[in-house]
Amino acid sequence: MRRLLEWLGIERERLWLRWISAAEGTRFASTVVEYTALLRELGPSTRRDLGADYEGLARVASAMGSAGRLVLEEDACMVDLAKYFLEYTQRESCAECIPCRIGTKRLLEVLERVVQGKASANEFSLLEEVGEAIGLSAKCDLGRIAGRAVADVTKYGRDELEAHLRGTCPATVEANRGWNINN
C-alpha cells in the first residue's frame, strides 16, 4: 500500500495500521487523537494528478493484497497474480454470498484456461463482466476486491491475456527487489 501511496504522491506517514482489540477502547481513542494530530501537522495532501496512466497504476497496485504485501523477487504476470489472488479468495472466503463463493470460482476456472492457452478470446468479456458484477455485489471486501482485480486485469491487461493464449507470458509486473518487508 505504501508503494501505491508513493506512486500517487501521497506521503507514507498518512497511512497507519494498528491492531487494536475491541476491548482496548482507551488505546483506540489515543491512536485516533494521535493520528488526527499528525494529519493536521502534515496539512493537505499534495497528491499528484493521475491522468490516465492505468498501466503504471496496475503495475504498482498489482502487488497489493487484501491485507498484506506480496513481495515479488522476480517479474510476474498480471494474469498469474490475479489467478493467485482468486485462489486465495477461494481458500479464505466466508462463502456466505453467491457472488464470492461461485463467481470467483468461475473466474478462476477461466483464468486457469487462459494460463493453459485453452480459453477463447471471447471469454475475456466474461471475465470483465463477471468480475465487475462480483465487485459490486459481494458482501465482503475480499470478494469485491477479487472481482474488481480480475475486471481490471481484463480491461488494462488484455495484452497479457492474449499472450497466454499464444503460449507466452510477458511478466510485466516488475519485481520489487530490495524491499524491506518491515517497511
Are both 113 and 23 inside the same structural domain?
A: no
CATH number reported for the structural domain that contains residue 151 in this entry: 1.20.1440.230
In angstroms, the CA 102 to CA 84 distance is 17
Q: What is the pLDDT of residues 152-181, one digit of tens each?
A: 888 888 888 888 888 888 777 766 655 544
The pLDDT of residue 64 = 46
Cell digits of residue 87: 485462489
140 in any annotated domain: yes
Do 99 and 32 fall into the same domain?
no
pLDDT, residue 175, reads 65
Looking at the fold, whether 10 and 36 belong to one and the same domain comes out as yes
Q: Kindly state whether residue 92 falls inside one of the protein's structural domains.
A: yes
Concatenated DSSP letters for 18-76? ----TT-HHHHHHHHHHHHHHHHHH-S--PPP-TT-HHHHHHHHTTB-SSSB---SS-B
Domain limits for position 137: 55-165
**Does 50 fall in a domain?**
no
64 and 11 in a single domain? The answer is no
Rounded to 5 degrees, what angle do the CA atoms 79, 80, 84 make?
Answer: 120
Q: Are residues 11 and 89 in the same domain?
A: no
Dihedral sign (CA 137, 139, 145, 147): negative
* 1, 174, 176 from 147: Cα distances, Å: 19, 23, 25
Q: pLDDT by residue (tens digit) across 113-122?
A: 988 888 887 8
Same domain, 37 and 96: no
Mean pLDDT of the chain: 77
Same domain? For 96 and 21 the reply is no
3-state secondary structure of 171: coil
What domain count does the chain have? 2
Comparing 39 with 179, the larger pLDDT belongs to: 39
What single-letter DSSP state applies at residue 173?
B
Q: How far apart are CA 93 and CA 156, in angstroms?
A: 26
Same domain, 73 and 38: no
pLDDT of 109 strictly over 90: yes
Identify whether residues 81 and 13 lie together within a single domain: no
Give the model confidence (pLDDT) of 50-106 as tens digits. Answer: 554 555 555 545 444 444 455 556 677 788 888 888 888 888 887 788 888 888 899
